Amino acid sequence: MRRSPLTLGVLIAIVVVAVQALLVPLFAAPAANLAPRDLPIAVAGPPADAGPAGGASPAGGAAVPGPGAIAARLEAEHPGAFAVTTVADAAAADTAIKNREVYGAILVTAAGPEVHVASAASPTVSALLTQAAAGLGPQVPVRDVVPLDADDPRGTGFAGGFLPLAITSLLAGMLIFLLVRTRVARFAALLSYGVSAGLATAVVQQGWLGILPGDYLLVAAALGLFALAVSAAMTGLAALLGRGGLGLGALIMFLVGNALAGIAAAPELLPQPWGEVGQWLPIGAGAQLVRSAAYFDGAGAFQAVAVLTAYAGTGLILTLIGRSGLVANSAPEPVEARQELVTAR
């Protein structure tokens, strides 16, 4: 039964409004509820100062709180906000920051507390820890152990430059499925796209815009793996499910994945478990991988590499074993019809 144009138009409007009603909270709710949730940080100090009692200051003044007292104070003032790890000294704290095991550290010194942050890991978390440092005492020194690039001091270039790669990779996967007819050709096209996208994007972001530091080949490999994961997953889903797979892939990987990625913030700042879910989707994993490659020499990238490799590998396999092409829009004209046309002439 065919619907009238009026009915079809009203139905389309209702469906679009329903989708909009779902998308608005999907994007707005995480951004409106940013707060630390088991955010990993370190507290460092000599063993002699450990415990709530702390140690006496060398000048004979007020006692300096030890790591245990600092951790207890953080939990009392911000319950559930921080997952505190105690380390031996400042060197161990900085190593944990550079290995992406923690976002920052509070150091217990004879002169008072000191805070170390890594704005490259998350400028939002860095600002949050700097604000928290003000509650530990007057004029608490803050040192940025792994700063953002000088040409991108707020990290907005990193977040803004990552989204176009996600969009173009999504489109590449769609176009390869729709326009390339054979499985092997699609496989080759996906690999070619992943390599060229990684190399070209690294040139633009490092050489032209100057917003990504780090080793060129390492950054290009991270960008290329992300591009391949998104494009191959799109083509693979379409090879498995047809054109419906393209819609499903765009919904899950781009709309949901982008909302839960925490690119400009951190997964631990998003409502849980959604922040963690976002890291198992390509955009969230890709952002973590590129950040690790650019600023941390690849440290802390194992989960992101595993996630993206799984998407890329599964997508390539589905591309090879799935449907090889789309059914033609129109069937060939029957021989009888052509003969009748010739007779009529």
What is the residue-wise DSSP string for 115-179? Answer: EEE-TTT-HHHHHHHHHHHHTTSTT--EEESSPPPTT-TTSHHHHHHHHHHHHHHHHHHHHHHHH
pLDDT at 182: 92
- Please tell me the distance from the alpha carbon of residue 108 to that of residue 67, in angstroms, as a whole number: 6
pLDDT at 8: 85
Q: Which residues pair with 113 in a beta bridge?
A: 108
Q: How does 111-122 read in b/e, with b if 16+ C-beta sit within 10 Å?
A: ebbbbbbbbbbb
pLDDT at 56: 47
pLDDT at 345: 54
Tell me the two tokens of residue 71. 């951790």
- Please tell me the distance from the alpha carbon of residue 25 to that of residue 260, in angstroms, as a whole number: 12
pLDDT at 329: 44
pLDDT along the chain (345 residues), means of 10: 79 86 76 85 71 46 68 83 90 95 91 90 91 79 92 87 92 95 95 97 92 94 98 96 90 88 88 91 96 95 97 97 59 50 50
pLDDT at 29: 74
Q: Which residues pair with 106 in a beta bridge?
A: 43, 115
Give the pTM.
Answer: 0.84
- 62 backbone dihedrals φ, ψ, rounded to 5°: -65, 150
pLDDT at 321: 92
pLDDT at 138: 79
